[in-house]
Amino acid sequence: MRIKAAPMATVFFLLIHVYPLSAAERHIMEPRVPVDKLEEARTLMSPLPDSAEVLAQGKKIYEGKGTCFNCHGMKGRGDGPGGATLNPSPRDFRHRGMWHHRSEGEIFWVIKHGIEGTGMIPFGGLLSDEEIWTVIQYERSFAGGRGRRGMGRHRGRGSMGQCEGMGCRGRHGMMGFE
């Protein structure tokens, strides 16, 4: 009788202690870019100016062609109708800590390539690099700030004329689009 109880106790332990950890939302500070792409992603910087025009265009893409609102919600809370059943739940763009600790290049990479094992699909086939940078500027506005000052300690520095992977990087960021 004790032999049969041991496997049941193990199953019970796993259901109670292990399953909830795997089903919980990932910690907001956990990088979403694969480790082998992280350094490259962190060097990418938006070539776009902080402007009302870019912000308005980002809103148009977010609410239209990009369909970002479907999962992230109209106010960027991660509460859109398409995201209701996703695990982990969609990113809440109002969280200032996320914007402070994630580089804009990491966010660019995630939008372009998606995040494996989540509902975040790659949008690189739908949106151009410029459109992705535009959307990032709008998404950043949900946290109550404009500008890149809070865009993390991982802004990175490229060398002039360095082109590879996800675009061209220079002293001032992306120099061109793929």
Convert the pLDDT of each residue in 101-133 to its tens digit: 889 999 999 999 999 989 999 999 999 999 999
Please answer whether residues 25 and 87 qualify as being in contact, where contact means their C-beta atoms are separated by less than 8 angstroms.
Answer: yes
> For residue 1, how many other CB atoms are within 10 A of its CB?
4
Residue 18 lies in a domain: no
pLDDT in tens, 38-85: 999 999 999 999 999 999 999 999 999 999 999 999 999 999 999 999
Q: Is residue 143 domain-resident?
A: yes
16 lies in some domain: no
74 lies in a domain?
Answer: yes
**Whole-prediction pTM value?**
0.69
Number of domains in the chain: 1
Asked whether residue 146 is assigned to any structural domain, the reply reads: yes
Q: What is the pLDDT of residues 133-155, one digit of tens each?
A: 999 999 999 998 654 544 543 33
| Structural domain span for residue 143 | 35-176
Q: Answer whether residue 24 is part of any domain.
A: no
Does any domain span residue 6? Answer: no
Residue 27 in any domain: the answer is: no
CATH number at residue 118: 1.10.760.10
Can you give the chain as a three-state secondary structure string? CHHHHHHHHHHHHHHHHHHHHHHCCCCCCCCCCCHHHHHHHHHCCCCCCCCHHHHHHHHHHHHCCCCCHHHHCCCCCCCCHHHCCCCCCCCCCCCHHHHHHCCHHHHHHHHHHCCCCCCCCCCCCCCCHHHHHHHHHHHHHCCCCCCCCCCCCCCCCCCCCEEECCEEEECCEEEECC
